[in-house]
Amino acid sequence: MKKFIFIFMISSTIFGACRSADKKAVSSEKENAVIDKDSREVPDFSRGIFSEEILWYLGRISDPRVSPDGETVLYAVKYYDYKLDKGNQELYTVPARGGSPKRITTTVENEFGAIWRPDGKKIAFLREGEDKDGIQVWECNPDGSAPQQLSRVKTGVSAFYYAPDLAHVLYLTDVPLDSTVQTRYPDLPKAHALIADELMYRHWDHWADGSYTHAIVATYPDFENPVDLTPDCPYIVDEVTWHPNGKQIAYSSKKLTGKAFSESTNADIYLYDIENGNTLNLTEVNEGYDREPCFSPDGKYMAYWSMKTPGYESDKQRLMVLDLHTGNAIDYSTHFDQNAEHFVWAADSRQLYFLSGIQATIQAYRLDIVSGEISQLSRGDHDYNTLDRIGEQLLVTKTTMATPTELYTLNPTTGQETQLTFENKDILEKITSCTITKRWVRTTDNKDMLVWVILPPNFDSTKCYPALLYCQGGPQQTVSQFFSYRWNFQMMAAHDYIIVAPNRRGLPGFGSEWNDQISLDYGGQNMKDYLSAIDAVAKEPYVDKNRLGAVGASYGGFSIYWLAGHHQKRFKAFIAHCGMFNFESWYATTDELFFANHDLGGPYWQKNIPHSYTFSPHRFVGNWDTPILVIHGGNDFRIPYTEGMQAFHAARIQNIPARFLFFPEEWHFVSSPQNAILWQREFFRWLDTYLK
């Protein structure tokens, strides 16, 4: 039996530990240096395949914004220096017709949330204030010159928007409303505690601090006469946008508190009038999510997406268009069995562009408002992740499993793409890519399932490779052409593993029936789908059926725990990250109860306990017989880390080889460079031990 190892990363904030020796060795001068593409140590490219160091060397493009005249694209690039354990994001521009990018900021601070002023003469962005007074709004010329801090908001700024007429600005900031220990007991300034009387006292990765994100309107450019759109209301405001008239603001908000906030998805879109202060609920009739408001250029319509089923966070995102004059909303996706999001209007307000997932890809679409016709504009195995209009063209960010984000223009008539940025071209040219293939596998209920099969670089069909079944999270989240910086198929393939990534039951992009089936059936058909996929690929002569592993996170982590008790000796190694192990303990500790109520059927203590609780992996640990690596983050409040502890303990009590990799300061994801690289190294150390 292999010796087990328990890896525990000590948290400096929790245990008061000193900074690690390697950080002490870094000079303050280097700590304060600007991190850019050329200032970092170049990783080893000699093997010609991806490594974890190369993965974190890639530049990460985000937040493209088209200038008002359509001539220039503003975007951000973030570079990481893993030895410093931090990254730095700067702003760039590139001509819309193609050309060389120009860097317009060079600071030790991160610049983000950048937008064009409506007249195109300035660029606004967020970064730390001159007096270290939190994140503030800055403004500069389009070439980056003359940067100037505009705001001095005491609680900082998290997002910023110009009014179309430049008379006002709109920004988001956290407004303290609830009592804290210090406000209740001012004589105890050093007491560090939270007193909770109601649910949602923690969410995703943070504890409630008595503050709520609100939208504030103020005059431009002095930020005077601030007005809170929701004064004294304990609600979070999100997705704000100006009406073209500059007099109204739409925003989305779930105006519920406590237990109701935890149990409901009833988020509505509101219209606020800055002249009279009145607020109108535009989507009150719907009890599910209503999100992403987008006004037409002529101001007559507002597009948004809407989920019909209360409490179901993965329901179909219906494409809705509201006539602001009549108040009537039309569902244009009645005969379109796909999601719709990332809306962009044509200049004539008669056509609406949007993104939608189809068969494990994300494509661009167009809606004709008059005829109601929806047309697919793009084809190919890729994901378009953002969308904007650039004259008569569209601007998209594109990824594949083999390539990180780059900017492209898309001709909506011909579907032709033109690449605008080549941020990582010099890196990718040194890498032998994996081969991405897809096949349709027949399921146990006689349906066709799309399965991605990723082959190693320099694949040799005469050899026999170990294979990994990849189990997706969500659970309703497509295995599309995403490029992940952790669950990276290039990385897995570079370690000479074949990856089997099925779009099993419960994933969008294959119709509502396929997506919805998984609810209340966690241990049912979708688990059979997993086994159908790995069994089909394991028949290939280049796959060693005696060296199969299974890996996954979140719902994928639950899948690993469930497969561990039901795999009938198919697999030789498991890795579960942030997975649900015990449905009862998970239900009683997770933050958003609407998810658990919908997918499990309600609490485990109700009179008629839902059948879904019989799928809980902890019920089947007596069948476990396979080495398992368990990974969890201490700040994961969606699936608390005690779920991982239970799984690790259950394995070790039975003398099954196991390892617990715990990150006290990470959450449902692992985001800091050195933690992420450690994650990769332990991931492959475990697999290589049992599969090679």
* Active site positions, annotated: 554, 636, 668
Q: Which of 476, 430, 480 is nearest to 457 (CA)?
A: 430
* Contacts of the segment 644-651: beta carbons below 8 A, 24+ positions apart: 644/576, 644/578, 644/579, 644/581, 646/581, 646/582, 646/585, 646/618, 647/561, 647/576, 647/579, 647/581, 647/617, 650/581, 650/618, 650/621, 650/624, 651/621, 651/624
Contact at 8 Å (CB) between 168 and 274? Answer: yes
CA 306 to CA 463: how far, in whole Å? Answer: 50
Burial class (CB in 10 A: 0-12, 13-18, 19+), 257: middle
Q: Which structure tokens are listed for 260?
A: 């109701």
Burial class (CB in 10 A: 0-12, 13-18, 19+), 687: buried
Contact at 8 Å (CB) between 105 and 128? Answer: no
Contact at 8 Å (CB) between 431 and 418? Answer: no
**Using CA of residue 265, residue 266, residue 271, residue 277, what is the dihedral sign?**
negative
CA 490 to CA 456: how far, in whole Å? Answer: 8
**Using CA of residue 32, residue 33, residue 36, residue 38, what is the dihedral sign?**
negative
Contact at 8 Å (CB) between 231 and 243? Answer: no
Contact partners, residue 621, CB within 8 Å, separation at least 6? 564, 565, 650, 651, 654
Burial class (CB in 10 A: 0-12, 13-18, 19+), 41: exposed
Q: Which structure tokens are listed for 222?
A: 């002095």
Q: Please provide residue 298's backbone torsions phi and psi, each rounded to the nearest 5 degrees.
A: -85, 0
Q: At what angle do helices 525-538 and 555-564 cross, to 10 degrees?
A: 70
Which spans in 363-509 are helix H?
Answer: 425-428, 489-494
Collapse the DSSP code of 256 into the 3-class scheme (helix H, G, I; strand E, B; otherwise coil) and give the result.
coil
Q: Radius of gyration of the chain from Cα atoms? A: 26
Please give the C-alpha separations between residue 301 and each of 277, 283, 290, in angstroms, as whole numbers.
21, 14, 15
Q: Which structure tokens are listed for 73?
A: 């694209």
Amino acid identity, position 24: K
Q: Please provide residue 493's backbone torsions phi and psi, each rounded to the nearest 5 degrees.
A: -65, -35
Q: Which structure tokens are listed for 519?
A: 């609810």
Beta strands in 391-494 (DSSP E): 393-399, 406-410, 417-419, 435-442, 448-455, 465-471
CA 590 to CA 574: how far, in whole Å? Answer: 24
525: alpha, beta or left, given left = phi > 0 and alpha = psi -120 to 50? alpha
Q: How many CB atoms lie within 10 A of CB 653?
A: 10
Q: Please provide residue 302's backbone torsions phi and psi, each rounded to the nearest 5 degrees.
A: -135, 120
